[in-house]
Amino acid sequence: MELQQFGPYRIEALLGRGGMGEVYRAFDTEHDRTVALKVLSEHLAADSGYRERFRREAHLAARLNEPHIVPIHRYGEIDGRLFLDMRLVPGRDVAAVLAEDGPMSPQRAVSVTSQTARALDAAHADGLVHRDVKPSNVLLTGSGDDEFVYLVDFGIARSTADRQGPALTQTGAALGSFDYMAPERFLEKPIDQRVDVYALACVLFECLTGRRPFTGDGLATLMYAHLNTLPTPPSQLRPGLPRALDDVVLKGLAKEPGERYASCGELAAAARAALASAGVAARPEAAPPTSVSPLFRPQTVGFSNPGPPGGYGPTSNPGVPAGYGPPSNPGVPAGYGPTSNPGPAGGYRPPSHPGAPGYGPPSNPGPPAGFAQPPQGGFRPPTGPAFPPPPQGGGASPSGQRQPNRVPLVLAGLALLLVVVVVGVIALTGGFSGDATADETTSSSSSSSSGGTTTTPADPLDRLLAIVPGDFDVEACSDQPPAGDGDLATVACGAASTSPGPQQSFFYLYEDGAAVDAVFQTDVDGVGLTQIGAGQNCPDAQGYQGYTDPQDRYAGRIACWVDTEGDANLAWTQEDVGAEGLVVIPGGGESGLADLYQWWRDPARSDFSER
């Protein structure tokens, strides 16, 4: 029997039903708004382990403030049912679009993939893996160049720090998503964000061809294909597609996690580059059809123990192996690259969010405008929405609080059957050759490719000081309090040796390239900087863009601007070492900005590299 009333929600229509519950269009009588209400199946609330994980992950998902993620208003438990109250987004999902309209044009398929990747990278930067990326969870609004993508259903997302519980035997939810599941999930190995990279590659394949990468009759056949069968290149199924896209899709669908792209944004950037190589212009990025709601604390309803206020969660480490990224040495800005870096024809980033002007330090003294002031003074990036401060007292991480998951009895028979099938498939196929654990894939760069040991210091502060750009005197650098946005170490190093050059400088170390890129995006969005258009560079245009190294490989992003105090500011990231720099000439204006840019162009001055 369908619901008619659910707590304060008046049910208006059933929008969909899946393995975990139903989604309704409902009217929230307490807040006078129409919402999308997801009500989970009754047996899930009876599982104490699942209830705790749902509360934890709903809180983490609700605090994500990325434009391509549907906002969660509140979540909790009413009348023994777990629920999520989300913004109602008009439009169609990608599964419906493909069923009704057939395969997409390459430009549209890559645009959908790029916007979805933006949402996934934001989630990964906050320690969440979606685990259910598929066409029906990607919503489209608008049309043509104004088409905007939303990613929904983080209901089975889990923290990257939470490695307990097999993928196939927790709930029936996974049964509808086998077409998009990475090989390591079938083998119940530890997972990280690369399972979402694999699923996103499946979505790109389906958008381009109108069919899924692997098909078959029965679960065992499908599992065998994911574990052992190479997918057909899309251009063979749909002649006329740019053949360069074949390589992108096939790399995203690699059986071994380490052979895939390290992030969803990297996959999207490669897809845009493939279009460009074929002479096809990528779509410009569309603005969201409605304004983005400011970040707020989601309302928790009905839990007897909602946990510490204000949220908590893992650090910004999205699980990318340490040391990932292209070689250093800043080069000429190129306007393309992985993660959230803009593409050659339009850009890959969320629409900018106008904020308080003046990203950067005003005239000395005082912290940079838009930068948070640490208790002991000094300069540091703001505490962005994706990286709120940890709870007072240094509370335990989510993984430290996790209770073992108890599969409901009604699913026990199915779970046992799935395990038997998995074992049978492994026995028949010889198994999946990848045997690296999550600990191994996320280990630090303590070993070189040749098996030797590097001299990288273990202490984050020492690591940062070891790579401070060469134009600064390390002895003059002072340790700064943590920013609380995922930074491992922060230092202020004063003026550069070169004149004209920076008069103030601040350097930050993060877990990896994806983490520093997410912080950079939060900073520039929060103060209204926008992407610099194709064919333009700092300082002729103020804003931000990607840059490449001398070998034309993506290396990071750079931003330049003059704030309201007239100070010249330049910030850049270097993803191979997970570092960010901010340099300033107080009162320098546009001429100072030109001096900073010329200074930065010399890698001997600005490169983060071992001394």
Q: Which residues are catalytic, by number?
A: 132
Beta strand pairing status for 299-301 and 72-78?
Answer: parallel
Cα–Cα distance measured from residue 376 to residue 381, given in angstroms and rounded to the nearest whole number = 15
Contact call for residues 192 and 441 (beta carbons, < 8 A): yes
C-alpha–C-alpha distance, residues 253 and 476, integer Å: 48
Q: What is the DSSP string of 207-270?
A: HHHSS-S---SSHHHHHHHHHHPPPPPHHHHSTTS-THHHHHHHHHT-SSGGGS-SSHHHHHHH
Of 133, 125, 110, 118, the closest CA to residue 270 belongs to 110
First vs last C-alpha separation in the chain? 69
| SS3 of 53-106 | HHHHHHHHHHCCCCCCECCEEEEEEECCEEEEEEECCCCEEHHHHHHHHCCCCH
The Cα–Cα gap between 454 and 450 comes to 10
Tell me how far apart the alpha carbons of residues 552 and 558 are, in angstroms, rounded to a whole number. 15
Torsion of CA 127, 132, 135, 138, to 10 degrees: -40
For residue 523, what are its two tokens? 């900073």
Instruction: Note the Cα 298 to chain centre separation in Å.
Output: 20
Between CA 155 and CA 54 the distance in angstroms is 7
Residues 578, 516: contact at Cβ < 8 Å?
Answer: yes
Q: In this structure, are residues 503 and 586 in contact, taking their beta carbons and an 8 Å threshold? A: yes
CA-CA-CA-CA torsion sign (484, 329, 110, 353): positive
Burial of 423 (0-12, 13-18, 19+ CB in 10 A): exposed
**Partners of 139 in the β-ladder:** 93, 150
Looking at 421-517, which runs of residues are DSSP E strands? 478-479, 489-492, 504-509
Counted residue by residue, the chain has a size of: 611
CB neighbours (10 Å) of residue 352?
19
